[in-house]
Amino acid sequence: MEEKCISNSRRCYKQWFGFMVLIMSFCVSYVDAVWPMPQMISSSMARYTLNPREFLFQYSSGSSAQSGCSVLDSAFKRYFPLIFTDYTRPRQHDEWFRFPFTVVVHVERAECEDYPDADSSESYKLSVRSGQAALRAETVWGALRGLESFSQLVYQDDFGEYFVNETEIEDFPRFQFRGILLDTSRHYLPLHAILKTLDAMSYNKFNVFHWHIVDDPSFPYQSSTFPDLSRKGAFHPSTHVYTQIDVKRVIAHARLRGIRVLAEFDSPGHTQSWGKGQPGLLTPCYKGTVPSGTFGPVNPANFSSYQFMTRLFKEVTSVFPDSYIHLGGDEVDFTCWKSNPDVRGFMLKMGFGTDYTKLESYYMENMVNITKGLNKTAIVWQDVFDYHEKLCCSSLSVVEVWKGGCYLCEVRRVTKAGLRVVLASPWYLDQPGPTHDWARYYTIWPLAFKGTEQQKKLVIGGEVCMWGEYVDATNLSPRLWPRASAAAERLWSDERMTSSVIDAYPRLVDFRCRLLRRGIQAEPLFVGHCRHEYQGI
């Protein structure tokens, strides 16, 4: 039915409307409206009144994290207004209440000043009873996920009273890597748009911000080592750049929400903006025997290219604390390399003949080794694997599958080679489309390929890609949400519990309204309304 309803025909609309009427006939209960769906949730109709003036977050006496834990202290302050959306009176910290409702948090391992990483546990247990919610987690990152789930359990009646139902949750993510890619080169995204996206990611339990920070159109990253890269390569050298302070602010904002920041500096292709501030880096293209005045990808025949990359990535890896870094490696046009006599000479010297995929493999091998020397794990786009499956795999460890077609066939090939996979192919959301196509992003099964259990364990997750050709701050949020929320549930939840679009629809409608109340400009799924409409916050 989904494929039939992509057109704008009157018949198609009637089919979709009938489908939605059927779905809307199902009643969503407040207690089940947690998105993404926990691994296990049970609740009763017993409900408890919450009074914002008699509500406390506190650490358990045996918790490794205590007052002063930056991650959780910040989360307690952040979640109070998210839970009590309409409460505007300042909290009276010095007032004593005899029977406050208390959310007691117990953390096994205090990682309060650390950054989330690829192995961070996000599991938690939440028990809501009369007068208290007990939240237990191995790490502060799991506690953050539990606080988000608790915040979604709280609801209001028609008179504005707050309630929470008796609930038991045991939860953990299905996949460890759950990402959102933003492209800040094709259109510059102001800092507030990035921070707002990080907020929305935390509500959806995404945990990786893949920052595709530079590309052909512009180089907005302000490098301290090579300041001319942004001075000459950005759309504007002062208004359309990310300073070192900006980058630190993004990383700090993400950390407090349990989100890793994965930086991508894509090369050797997608580097036209680099060449403006770093002469000699790109390959001069030739027309016959003379230079044409244009430039191609990074010149892999020059030793100076690797010297430059080593210095740049030494800076980048010191700025971005995550253990992973994305090296790109996609869509390299060999035309310019083929035209350049120095590159052709280098090919002969290396014994590559006329196979330019070997030249790219040589370049990427060097890049992976550079980052490995900086104690970083490299991620590359699938092109690098595709060109030379045997040659590439001596140094690669994580491949991002992005091309269309039989993407699960590619996942099977990559995992058969013993490499980890991040799946992006089915979650490209940069093109506009009707919001009701969220279902096609929901009914994705990342492990539905023929392979061993060991192969399937190598699929570490997936990500939503928001490329920037037609996206800037004016349409970023509505194009992302709630369609990206469909991917969020697929990457977090047990697919056996969340395979039904009909069951998911009312929960997603409810969650979309919650996003609106939190200031996220998410598109509507269909005809209807929210009890609290979006006010343009």
* DSSP summary character for residue 242: B
- Which residues have a Cβ under 8 Å from the Cβ of 212 and sit 6 or more positions away? 181, 182, 183, 184, 185, 264, 266, 326, 467
Closest-CA residue to 520 (of 512, 510, 528): 512
| Average pLDDT for runs of 10 along the chain of length 537 | 33 42 43 86 94 95 96 98 84 58 96 96 96 97 98 94 96 98 98 98 98 98 98 98 98 98 98 97 96 97 98 98 98 97 97 95 95 96 84 78 96 96 95 76 96 97 97 96 97 93 95 96 93 71
pLDDT digit string (tens) for 488-503? 999 999 999 899 999 9
CATH numbers and ranges of domains, the chain: 40-87+98-171 (3.30.379.10), 177-499 (3.20.20.80)
Can you give the pLDDT at residue 8?
Answer: 36
Catalytic residue among 113, 161, 331, 469: 331
pTM greater than the 0.85 cutoff: yes
What is the 3 state secondary structure string of 110-144? CCCCCCCCCCCCCCEEEEEECCEEEEEECCHHHHH
CA distances from 173 to 122, 211, 439 (A): 7, 22, 21
173: region left, alpha or beta (phi > 0 left; psi from -120 to 50 alpha): beta
CA distances from 323 to 31, 102, 374 (A): 38, 36, 10
CA distances from 137 to 170, 205, 318, 373, 391 (A): 10, 15, 30, 34, 42
The span from the CA of 398 to the CA of 23, in Å, is 40
The span from the CA of 453 to the CA of 447, in Å, is 10
- Which residues have a Cβ under 8 Å from the Cβ of 426 and sit 6 or more positions away? 407, 440, 441, 444
Q: Are 101 and 50 in contact (CB under 8 A)?
A: yes
Can you give the pLDDT at residue 390?
Answer: 54
- Which residues have a Cβ under 8 Å from the Cβ of 402 and sit 6 or more positions away? 330, 381, 382, 424, 425, 428, 465
Which backbone phi and psi does 212 adopt, to 5 degrees? -80, 80
Can you give the pLDDT at residue 4?
Answer: 31
- Which residues have a Cβ under 8 Å from the Cβ of 100 and sit 6 or more positions away? 54, 55, 56
Question: Is 161 among the residues known to form the active site?
Answer: no
Closest-CA residue to 410 (of 431, 384, 434): 384
pLDDT digit string (tens) for 331-388? 999 999 999 999 999 999 999 999 999 999 999 999 999 999 999 999 999 999 998 7
* DSSP summary character for residue 428: B
Tokens read off for 411:
């996942």
